[in-house]
Amino acid sequence: MEFKNFSLFINQSKVARFTKDLAEGKIMSTVCKKCGRQYYPPQADCFSCMESEMEWKEVPREGRLLTFTRIHVPPEHFAVRQPLMPFSSVQFEPCPIGLIEVEKGLKIMGWIPKVDIKKIKVGMKMKASPFTLPDGKLTIILEPLNP
């Protein structure tokens, strides 16, 4: 799977394996073999010690919600295709996104599509999961562990 299936703007990347693993249901990070610094999203080069020898490691999926917000104009592939507004072929629904901490400061951002924003609380336990959108693009969604 190509990296462009994850990012809307990038076709090539030194960490293209990330999308292949995401399509297989794994969320991966990279760890510098020299200094041990872990990166998510994966990095091909360590900015701490300037080395390029990285090891791939699966990231824990469960964590606590650190923060969240609502995007009022999400990417087009998240839009609901209904001509509800004059002169527009797309109706955008506000979409919540959040950031969870899974271990030692490692954070994962994802969409929160299945939860009413009024029920989302900072500190709640959530799980990150890879998700394939109807247009074939990959993303990460966050869901509460105890709804």
- Write down the pLDDT at residue 86: 56
pLDDT at 57 over 60: yes
In 22-118, where do the E strands start and end? 28-32, 38-39, 54-58, 62-71, 95-103, 106-111
Residue 45 lies in a domain: yes
Q: Which domain holds residue 125?
A: 60-147
Indicate if 38 and 95 belong to the same structural domain: no
Residue 101 lies in a domain: yes
Indicate if 114 and 146 belong to the same structural domain: yes
Indicate if 107 and 40 belong to the same structural domain: no
* Cβ partners under 8 Å of residue 54, min gap 6: 30, 31, 32, 33, 39, 42, 43, 44, 45, 46
Q: Looking at 43, 59, 75, which one is the last position of a domain?
A: 59
Q: How far apart are CA 87 and CA 127, in angstroms?
A: 39
Domains identified in the chain, total number: 2
Reported as a single tens digit per residue, the pLDDT across 32-48 is 999 999 999 998 899 98
Indicate if 46 and 114 belong to the same structural domain: no
Residue 25 lies in a domain: yes
Indicate if 46 and 88 belong to the same structural domain: no
- Write down the pLDDT at residue 120: 94
Indicate if 64 and 32 belong to the same structural domain: no
pLDDT at 10 over 90: no
Residue 15 lies in a domain: yes
